[in-house]
Amino acid sequence: MDKRTFLKTSALVGAGGLLSIKNLSASPIISNPFSDIDKIIDETGRYFLNPLPYAFDALEPHIDHMTLVIHHGKHHAGYVNGLNAATDKINELLVTENFADIKYWEKQLAFNGAGHFLHTMYWNSMSPTRTKPSATLEKYINSSFGSFDKFLKYFKAATLQVEASGWGILAFQPLANKLVVLQAEKHQDLSQWMSIPILVCDVWEHAYYLRYQSKRAEYIDHFIETINWEMVSNRLELLLDKKK
Ligand code: MN3
């Protein structure tokens, strides 16, 4: 975190009333890999429903007019409202510091956040006009899956076999520098898709049971003492493209 961002954040947290991420949301994220979904939040920090990037009947006969009207106007809108409600509530809890109900609100945050982000990408994953993969995408598909044809077969099978509700997802895995196909059975179980972790704490029992047994809170306190803030800062600054 650079000094200016830190001061801004501190001022917000210390302000007392409802937190607002208004100022931070205006910070430029130069290396935003999701440029097609960069307008999910307005100047006041509220999430909002973008209009469809095409007419409701533009994908006919593949996706019908009425499905898009309901899917976008009812289902996607519901996620946006739920995400704003969860965000407001969590901002309230940050003021009162009463986190007794945080498990419920984290589920709401993940469920509605993942719903909002994935739907926004879904609308932009389709187009009324036929387009082609770039040379770079084709190269990555070939090296990750063998061929474009194999990728399509694999993507179709994986998406078809998602148990009950969910998503088929093509994702870039930057650590391995390759593309992967994933199934999301319940998008909330995988937290907010497209959020990028910069700090993680393992609370599987294997991480602390020898020393702390059932005292997870004690383990977390000790974990916090060990956090490498320099590394966390580096991760954020790399994402913000501020580190040269
Ligand atoms: Mn949907």
Residues 178-219: tens digit of each pLDDT: 888 888 877 656 566 766 767 676 777 867 888 888 888 887
Q: Which ranges in the chain are annotated with CATH 3.55.40.20? A: 135-241
* pLDDT tens profile 38-68: 578 888 889 999 899 899 999 899 889 999 9
Q: Report how far ligand 1's centroid is from the alpha carbon of 100 (Å).
A: 31
pLDDT of 7 strictly over 50: no
CA 225 from centre of chain: 27
Q: Report how far ligand 1's centroid is from the alpha carbon of 166 (Å).
A: 8
Q: Report how far ligand 1's centroid is from the alpha carbon of 27 (Å).
A: 30
Question: Does the domain made of 135-241 have the CATH classification 3.10.100.10?
Answer: no
User: What local confidence, expressed as pLDDT, does residue 35 receive?
Assistant: 60
Q: Report how far ligand 1's centroid is from the alpha carbon of 165 (Å).
A: 9
Residue 195 parent element (H or E): none
Q: Report how far ligand 1's centroid is from the alpha carbon of 71 (Å).
A: 6
Q: What are the φ/ψ torsions at residue 62 (nearest 5 degrees)?
A: -70, -50
Mean pLDDT, rounded, for 138-149: 92
Q: In CATH, what number does 3-32+41-56+63-124 get?
A: 1.10.287.990
Q: Report how far ligand 1's centroid is from the alpha carbon of 39 (Å).
A: 19
Q: Kindly provide the residue ranges of all beta strands, DSSP E only, lying in the chain, ordered along the sequence.
A: 167-173, 178-184
Q: Which ranges in the chain are annotated with CATH 1.10.287.990? A: 3-32+41-56+63-124
Residue 40 near residue 48, CB atoms below 8 Å: yes
Q: Report how far ligand 1's centroid is from the alpha carbon of 19 (Å).
A: 30
C-alpha distances in angstroms, 44 versus 19, 26, 176? 11, 9, 37
Q: Report how far ligand 1's centroid is from the alpha carbon of 79 (Å).
A: 10
Q: Report how far ligand 1's centroid is from the alpha carbon of 215 (Å).
A: 39
pLDDT of 157 strictly over 80: yes
Measured over the CA atoms of residue 204, residue 186, residue 80 and residue 123, the dihedral's sign is positive
Q: Report how far ligand 1's centroid is from the alpha carbon of 167 (Å).
A: 9
* pLDDT tens profile 76-126: 999 999 999 999 999 999 999 999 999 999 999 999 998 888 888 888 888
Q: Report how far ligand 1's centroid is from the alpha carbon of 76 (Å).
A: 7
Radius of gyration of the chain (CA): 21
